[in-house]
Amino acid sequence: MARRASVSGGGGGGAVRAVKGAKRPEVRLPALEQYGGGALEPDGDYDGVEFRELDLAGQDGGGARFMDCALRGCALDETRLRHARFLDSSLTGIRGVGTNLAEATLRDVELIDARLGGTQLYGAVLERVVIRGGKIDYLNLRQARLRDVVFEACVLVEPDFGGARLERVEFIDCALKSADFTAATLTDVDLRGATELGIAGGVDRLSGAVISTAQLLDLAPVLAGELGIRVEG
């Protein structure tokens, strides 16, 4: 049975050594060409294209490459983007349930104000990615690799980091609800800025993370339970 902890607040606290901050992407898009319509193509090659307010639900763009692209206000319900590559791109206001980005690559990407549920990113590679604003429910990042990733001012409900590798990952002004870190590996992960920190599993894997003093106090019961310490009086 998974132990759960809920931590509110944050701020203050320190670490024995300074945690290394994430390197943020610098996305500078060129003049973009409007997407001409039609369905996404598996293994398609999209360079300097803007997808604006399009319904891409149920389409198959598996293995496609998106370079210097912008997706704005698009619907991605059940869209298949397995093995896709998003490079130097901006995704703003996208929405969808069941979007499949398994084993995809996101490098130098901004994901802003997304509304997603059940997004599959297992086995994916995220490098220099900022996820800002919006809400993502049941995000599957199992076995994924995250390096230089920032979650900022967003809500993550039951994200699954099982078996993932997180290096230089920051949570800033975001709510992390019932996160699962089972078998994850954390290096320079900064949780101090989380406005809510809920751990559903894998509290024993938090070595390599830095938390605030307030978060430590609120995590004390679940940490004691993990270590088999009985607290009385």
- Tens of pLDDT, residue by residue over 4-22, are 444 444 444 444 568 899 9
Report which residue type is found at 58.
Answer: G
Cα 9 from chain centroid?
Answer: 21
Backbone angles phi, psi at 57, to 5 degrees: -60, 135
Closest CA to 102 of 141, 76, 67: 141
Q: For 106-126, how does the pLDDT look when each residue is reduced to its tens digit (9 = 90+)?
A: 999 999 999 999 999 999 999
pTM, full prediction: 0.89
pLDDT of 140 strictly over 50: yes
Question: What is the rounded CA–CA span in Å between residue 98 and residue 96?
Answer: 7
Q: Which pLDDT belongs to residue 200? A: 87
